[in-house]
């Protein structure tokens, strides 16, 4: 259930909004990219999901800019929006409870339909080491679109020269003729994509092959890739990354450092 921060019974968003959300996937790349969008565009929080499908968590405001708003609390699933730009963002901060993935996806689909989003864009990632031979060449980015989105995205992907996610063998070495879409390390990416296909929802998945580690560069790269399409920020000297604003919470992304007493 979505709870609006203004105390209303339903979240008021203008028609035709685009929704961006992350998959909880390898390197948390999608979540880091969403952090950058919220921080850069200074998007206000408009609601949060009250659900038992996500591991409960609470913390301080990850986008604090002063002592006063640093005391604001954040939870596991929050919605931020800029109605003037017809843009909404759902940030997920904790994993889905085991065996409740289907329930959470149904909750998302129901909310997406109620809000009548013009398009849903899922930012995700996949294990680089599990790529098929054909996926080792060229760009590390891939996209997927639901059948109802195919026509509207045809010119976009052609202009941007984006590469579609390849189908790989269902049983490598046994039956190479039977192929399927596989996104190892992508969390609920493939399942949510399948749900949106069945429900005829306008959806695009944009992902990057990567490995676990310092995935901040991967987040910047994925966001720059998306920005070529959505134009969330302007370009400066051929480099988008200088335009993205790093949230205050990233100062402790890898902990607070080693205690000097150790030395």
Bridge partners (DSSP) of residue 75 are 58
Per the listing, tokens 């998306």 go with: 226
Q: What is the pTM of this model?
A: 0.91
Listed residue (204, 87, 193) closest to 150, CA to CA:
204
Burial of residue 194 (number of CB atoms within 10 Å: 0-12, 13-18, 19+): middle
Enter the tokens of residue 149. Answer: 């989105």
Domain boundaries, the chain: 13-247
pLDDT tens sequence for the chain (263 residues): 888 887 766 777 877 899 999 999 999 999 999 999 999 999 999 999 999 999 999 999 999 888 888 888 999 999 999 999 999 999 999 999 989 999 999 999 999 999 999 999 999 999 999 998 888 888 999 999 999 999 999 999 999 999 999 988 776 666 667 788 999 999 999 999 999 999 999 999 999 999 999 999 999 999 999 999 999 998 655 555 558 999 988 887 776 666 677 67
Architecture field, domain 13-247: 3-Layer(aba) Sandwich (3.40)
Sequence-ordered list of residues with C-beta below 8 angstroms from that of 76, at least 6 positions apart, any chain: 49, 54, 55, 56, 57, 92, 93, 94
């Amino acid at each position: 259930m979505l709870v609006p921060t203004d105390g209303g019974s339903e979240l008021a968003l203008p028609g035709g909004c685009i929704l961006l959300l992350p998959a909880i996937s390898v390197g948390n790349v999608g979540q880091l990219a969403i952090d950058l969008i919220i921080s850069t565009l200074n998007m206000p929080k408009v609601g949060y999901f009250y659900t038992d499908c996500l591991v409960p968590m609470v913390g301080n405001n990850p986008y604090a800019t002063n002592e006063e708003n640093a005391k604001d609390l954040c939870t596991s699933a929050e919605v931020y929006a800029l109605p003037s730009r017809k843009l909404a963002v759902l940030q997920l901060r904790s994993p889905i409870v085991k065996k409740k993935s289907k329930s959470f996806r149904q909750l998302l689909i129901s909310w997406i339909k109620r809000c009548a989003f013009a398009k849903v864009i899922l930012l995700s990632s996949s294990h680089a080491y599990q790529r098929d031979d054909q996926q080792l060449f060229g760009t590390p980015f891939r996209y997927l679109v639901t059948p109802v989105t195919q026509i509207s995205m045809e010119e976009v992907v052609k202009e941007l020269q984006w590469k579609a996610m390849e189908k790989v063998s269902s049983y490598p070495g046994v039956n190479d003729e039977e192929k399927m879409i596989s996104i190892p390390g992508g969390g609920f990416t493939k399942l949510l994509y399948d749900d949106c296909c069945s429900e005829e929802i306008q959806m695009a998945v944009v992902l990057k092959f990567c490995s676990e580690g310092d995935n901040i560069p991967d987040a910047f790269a994925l966001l720059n890739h998306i920005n070529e399409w959505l134009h969330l920020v302007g370009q400066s000297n051929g480099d988008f990354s200088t335009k993205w604003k790093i949230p205050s919470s990233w100062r402790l992304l890898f902990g607070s450092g080693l205690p000097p007493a150790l030395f």
